[in-house]
Structures are given as C-alpha cells and as structure tokens.
Chains A and B, each alone.
Chain A
Amino acid sequence: MATEQQTIAQPFDFAGHQLSSKQRGLWNQAFVRLSRNRLAVASGTLLLLLVVVALLAANFDVVQRHEPSAQQYTNINGKPSGEYWLGTDPLGRDMWARVLDATLLSLKVGLGAEAVVLFLGIAVGLLAALGTRWTDGALMWFTDLAYAFPDLLMIILLRQVLFGRDWPIVGTGSPQIPGMPGYLLVTILAISFVSWVTIARLVRGQMLSLKQQDFILAARATGATEWRIVRAHMLPNSLSTVIVAVTFGIPTLIFAEASLAFVGLGVPAPAASLGTLINDGYDNLLANNLLVIWPAIIVASLMLCFTFLGDGLRDALDPRTRK
C-alpha cells in the first residue's frame, strides 16, 4: 500500500473568515439595503432637492428671483419666459417664486404636524401598553372615539376653533416663532390632533408584542429597571415600524392641509400653500391651466417620493422581507 501523506483535517479558521467580513449593525445593514433600492434612492434625492431649492429660495433672492407676493398688472397670466420661468398668475405674480414658497410652507405643515403626531402617538401608545389595565382601557376608548369622528370635518372644526385668536405663538399675538407664524401652527395643531391615533395604536401594538419577547424577560432578569427596558430595549425595537409609518404619514398630512386649502380654509393670503395654489388655479382653469399644473406636479411628486421612500424603508427595515 502506497503510504500517501494524508492531509489531516484542519479546524476551520473561524477567526480569519469572520474578521474578513465587516461587522454591520442593524441600521448599517438597513442603510445598505435602502441604498440598493434605486427607486427609493431616486425619491429621496428628489425630495432632498425640493427641500434644498425651497429653502434656498426662501433665503436668497438669486434663487427666488421675484417676490412671491409682488403684483405686476402689466404681465398677468404670462406664459413661461426667460424672466418668469413658470409664467405669472392673474395678479402678475411670479409662479416660480410662489410655487417654491408654497412648497416650503406645505413641507413645514407636513413635517411639523408629523412631529406633533409622533409625540402624541408615542406618548399615548406607551402609556396604554405599559400602564395598568385601566389606563389601557381608557386610552383605547379615547382612540376609538377619535376614530369615530369624520377626520376632515373635525380638522375643519378644530381649525375654526383655533383660528383668529390673539394668543402668543399660536395666534396673532407676540411673540411669534420666526419662520413658523401662528396661522401655520393652528393648521398643524388642528391636523395633528386628529391624526395621532394611527401611530398610538401602532406603538401600543408593538409594545404589547415586544413585552412578551424573551429578550425583555432576559433584561428584566438581569435587574434592568422598567424605564430602562422601555428606553433601551422596547423603543429602539419598535422604531423601524414607526419610521415607516412616519414616512407614509407625512404625505397624508400634507394632503390634509392641501384639502383644507382647496375648499378655501387654508393659510390666509398672501401666504399660500400648494393647496391654495391649486385652489386659485382651479378657478382660472380655462384661462391659464399652467396655474394648476405646476403645484399639481409638485404635490404629486411629493406624494410619490414619500410613498416610494416609505416602501424602500419598509423593505430595508423589516426583517421578514430580507432576502
């Protein structure tokens, strides 16, 4: 028998292989997955572009080109030209400046209302899930009640209740928050008081299911306090669901404000949101349909971008859809 040198099985070099691939955390992995989703990246980029241009226009005359409220009766319903890129409206106001101004205002409403919604929703959801059975029952009855109201009717009523007061910050009185006038806050509050229910239910459901998980039991066994468990374990674990809900929530809130403006309950003139512009343009539909088309394009792209970004985020953050 030929005595061949047989290779002895070597132990697998775990350390070498393990260290060769970079360790990645949950958020890092999610980010990598998101960046592979071309549609989501394109939407995110377009959104960022819109925000940046709108912000630049609000701060630099070079970008804004004309005052959004400056009227010029020699050039009404003007066609797009080198001087007025998107044309002018029936009062001779530059549409480029007005559309950008309105975009910024609508974004402010969407983001501001989402912030309030998030705060209220997380607070109520946490209380419902972590409090006693009695607080849970009371809070859930309250959210049921909020569901029972016809949303837009309630927003309209709340807006009328808060509107035209001489209170400071949320009204016409001083002081005012710069860049966030009282009438804007009124709209934000009216919309968010009706819209927080969804997030509250979501957070409550997440908390109730997380409560039963083994790692929470483990944390409790190591002696973590109740507050630490909530802050360090439960909130971060429900974060991905909340982020997705927020991304889908912002366009709904922008939509709510635009609906108000479309029926004539928007911000007072000369301020204008995208809904106001569409409302104004609708009345001049036969004379100059560009007035409706520009803001409609912006609203549609905002809606589509947030939807695609939300889809991308959901795929990136939800462990069940990982390939």
Chain B
Amino acid sequence: MLVYAIRRLVLIVPLLVAVATITFFLMHTVQGGPFDQDRPISDATRANLNARYGLDEPLPVQYVTYLVNLTKLDLGISFSNDRPVRDVIGERFGISMQLGLSAFAMALILGLALGVVSSVYQNGALDYVSVFFATIGAALPSFILAPIIVIVFAVEFGWFDVLGWELFNYKKMVLPTIALGTLPTAYVARITRASMLDVLRQDYIRTARSKGVSEFLVVINHALKNAMIPVLTILGPILAGLITGSFIVERAFSIPGVGFTFVTSVLIRDYGVIMGITLFYATIIALMNLCVDLLYGVVDPRIRY
C-alpha cells in the first residue's frame, strides 16, 4: 500500500505540470495584459512594470522561469497588490476551507442520517420525507437556494445576518453553510439510501439478527460500515468540490475566499494569482482522489494494492 501511495504521489507531478502548461498558455491568450486598465498609462511606466514582473521576456522564457520557481514553491507575485501569491492564497484559503469544511460536515452528518433513516424505514413516511428532501435539494443550485434562504430567514425572520462569514458565529455561519451544503447532503443521502438498501438484504445481516444483535447495532455496525464504500467514492470529489467550488456562495454572502479572488484575478489578468489558484486547486483535487483510493483499502479489506 505504501508503494502504491508513493507511485500515485509521483504520478501527480506530471499531471500538475500539464495543468500548469495548459493554464499558462491559455491565460496568456486572453486579450489584454495585466496593466491595461481604464486609465491609460505611459509607455515608459508600462515598460518598467513589465520589467519589474518579468513580462518583457519572451513567453517560453517566462514559462520556464515559472516552472523553475515552482519547484521552489515560489508562485510569483500578484500584480494587483504586489504581494507574494502564496501569501494571498494562504490568507484567502483559510476562509474558503472553513466554509467548505462546515458544508462538508453538514453533508456527511445530515446526508448519512437521512440515508440510513430512509433505508431502515423503507417506503415509510420518514423515507418519503427524506427522499423528497434529497430530490429537491439536488435540483436547487446554490445561487437559487442562497437568495431564497436569505429572503426567508435573514430578511423576513431576521434570525441570521444577510452577509459575511465568521467561524463559530451562528448568525454568519448557518446560511452560507446551508447554501453550499444542501446539494452534497442530498447527494450523500441518495447514495447512502441505495447502498444501505442493498446491504440490508445480505445474508450476513440476517445472521447478525439471528444471533440476537440489537437492531440498532445491526444497522450501525454491520450494515452502515459496509454501505460506506460507495459513499466514500463520492466523498473525495465532494470535499474537493466544496473547498474549490464555493465561489458562488462567496459571491452571494460577500465572503472574501479563494473562489472570488480567482474571478477577480481573471478579470484583471493577474497572471500569478490565476496560475497559483488553478495549481493549488488541482493539487487539492488530486490529493483528495488519492486519499479516497487509499481509504478503499481501509474500509474494504478485499481491495489490495
């Protein structure tokens, strides 16, 4: 397993180089440069700025320089505020990660609970309620959900704040988490229900019941553990998606996270930040997928690497 993990880790490197290459050249084909603003600047200023950020070199030279710096984990300098890209991402990522992780916690806890309950009471009232929730939740994208819950819970009832994010302040935490977490919750609930229904019909469940194991322990210990395998496969992509894909919720609640920084950096062609965020996200996605593959082996001892 260790050999497998190391081999997979090594394979991430060419993937990242490919991502870096494609993003680099795509980004430079976007019309306009980082210093083309509404207010025209003099040629001398432009030449100085280009020299300062190494933009006066031919593109292939810039590309090689970037890759060489990358090996030293140097992501370059942001043009918009003259700070190292690494610091900008580090500062913004904290907020995105808090938001992503709380939505992930919601998806995991609520999704698993809904899925287990509806599979245990299959075709009962509770099952219909949770399937209904899962279907509606899966069809409501965050940019629809965000305005609706803001209108109802923040404006009409005044329970929560309309904007902002602050860890452990429920007034600022609940609405963004719901807006981001509902879709993955519905997804987890759906997969858990299907997988649990499958497992509950297996012979070893009957054996456990006939031994006299209590129904609660059968569901939690015998069934859920085995039903987790298909759920695990989607948890990796879901976590990666939540951490990287939160920019809609960030825009809706004016949260200064990574996603929103990316959108602005594309608009003002802040090359360093665009590259940095894309590579950073690609790394996260690759590592998540690796983690999921390794977890398989832990959950399902039949899988060997």
Residues of B contacting A: mostly: helix
- Which A residue sits closest to B15, measured CB to CB? A148
Size class of the B contact interface (CB-based, 8 Å)? 35 or more
- Which B residue sits closest to A303, measured CB to CB? B139
Q: Shortest distance in angstroms between B181's beta carbon and chain A's nearest beta carbon?
A: 17
Q: Is the CB of A262 within 8 A of B143?
A: yes
Q: Is the CB of B281 within 8 A of A150?
A: yes
- B29: interface (CB < 8 Å): yes
Q: What is the 8 Å Cβ interface bit string for chain A, positions 255-281, against chain B (1 contact, 0 not)?
A: 100110011110000000001001101
- Which A residue sits closest to B244, measured CB to CB? A150
Determine which of B19, B148, B274 lies in contact with A296 in the assembled complex, contact meaning CB atoms within 8 Å. B148
Determine which of B30, B252, B277 lies in contact with A153 in the assembled complex, contact meaning CB atoms within 8 Å. B277
Write out the residue numbers on chain A whose beta carbons fall within 8 Å of the beta carbon of B278. Answer: 149-150, 153-154, 157
- B150: interface (CB < 8 Å): yes
- A140: interface (CB < 8 Å): no
At the interface with chain B, which of A19-27, A75-83, A220-228, A284-292? A284-292
Write out the residue numbers on chain B whose beta carbons fall within 8 Å of the beta carbon of A299. Answer: 141, 144
Write out the residue numbers on chain B whose beta carbons fall within 8 Å of the beta carbon of A303. Answer: 139-141
Q: Is the CB of B282 within 8 A of A149?
A: yes
- Which A residue sits closest to B23, measured CB to CB? A157
- B292: interface (CB < 8 Å): no
- B114: interface (CB < 8 Å): no
Q: How many residues of A are in contact with the other chain, CB < 8 A?
A: 42
Write out the residue numbers on chain A whose beta carbons fall within 8 Å of the beta carbon of B148. Answer: 293, 296
Q: Is the CB of A265 within 8 A of B23?
A: no
Write out the residue numbers on chain B whose beta carbons fall within 8 Å of the beta carbon of A264. Answer: 263
- A304: interface (CB < 8 Å): yes
Q: Is the CB of A150 within 8 A of B282?
A: yes
Given A163-B31, A285-B147, 7 more A-B residue pairs with CB atoms under 8 Å apart are A147-B285, A153-B281, A255-B141, A264-B263, A282-B252, A285-B162, A303-B139
Binding site for A on B (CB under 8 A): 15, 18-19, 22-23, 26-27, 29-31, 135-136, 138-141, 143-144, 146-148, 150-151, 155, 162, 244-245, 247-248, 251-252, 260, 262-263, 266-267, 274, 277-278, 281-282, 285-286
